[in-house]
Homo-oligomer: A and B are copies of this chain.
Amino acid sequence: MKIDIQTRVFAANELAAAENRKYLDSKNLFCLNMISSPGSGKTTILSKTITDLKGKLEIAVVEGDIQTELDAQRIRNAGASAVQINTHGGCHLNAEQVAIALKKLEIKGPGLLVIENVGNLVCPSAFELGEHAKVIVLSTAEGDDKPVKYPATFAKAAAVIINKIDLLDHVDFNLPRVRADIRQLNPKCEIFELSARTGRQMDRWYSWLLENTVS
């Protein structure tokens, strides 16, 4: 019984995700699903990306949070369109919520659509939203054991951003170990090591976004 209902929930989500993907492809939008722990820096990375790629890449954002409109406001302040989804307790976004947000955004395309998922390293990775790729963000302040402790999430990433590289001297974070652990779970994903706060090594991330976006 429990499994039947779970299966139906996932099946309904898969259908909605497939519809989202069709819509995104029809608009030539490259879509990323960003997943991380709370406070890894997703919104800061996005804000800086929007500012730095102004004029080069059209970016819109769907913001997922349990409550508040704070993150959508930060994205708008950076100069991009944003729609906030509040899950009111829900620990992840689902494809139906994203479908509603896409309608509200009315993006023309081509360009980049980023879905910033609810801060949670577990549940969001189980729900496809129609994205083309998942980007996992891990901050150096979170410790270097996260890939082995959350393998399902890291295994699905097209790219992993190791953020807050500027804190490396102040935290216990074995960067070579993390690189190796990610590679073992996911040999092909891109790994970016950067600091959205200082701007360090954001260039490779920008190049990757531009390469993957139809212009």
Contact = CB atoms under 8 A, between A and B. Distances in A.
Interface of A: 1-2, 5, 37-41, 65-68, 70, 89, 91, 118-123, 126, 139, 141-143, 145-146, 148-152, 164, 166-167, 170-172, 197
Contacts of A122: 66, 89, 91, 118, 120, 123
For the complex formed by this chain, how many copies does it contain in all? 2
Contact of A38 (B67, B146, B170): B146
30 contacts: A2-B5, A37-B142, A38-B146, A38-B149, A38-B150, A39-B142, A39-B143, A67-B148, A67-B150, A68-B145, A68-B148, A70-B145, A70-B148, A70-B149, A89-B152, A91-B91, A91-B120, A91-B123, A119-B149, A120-B120, A120-B121, A120-B122, A122-B123, A123-B123, A139-B141, A141-B142, A141-B164, A141-B167, A170-B170, A172-B197
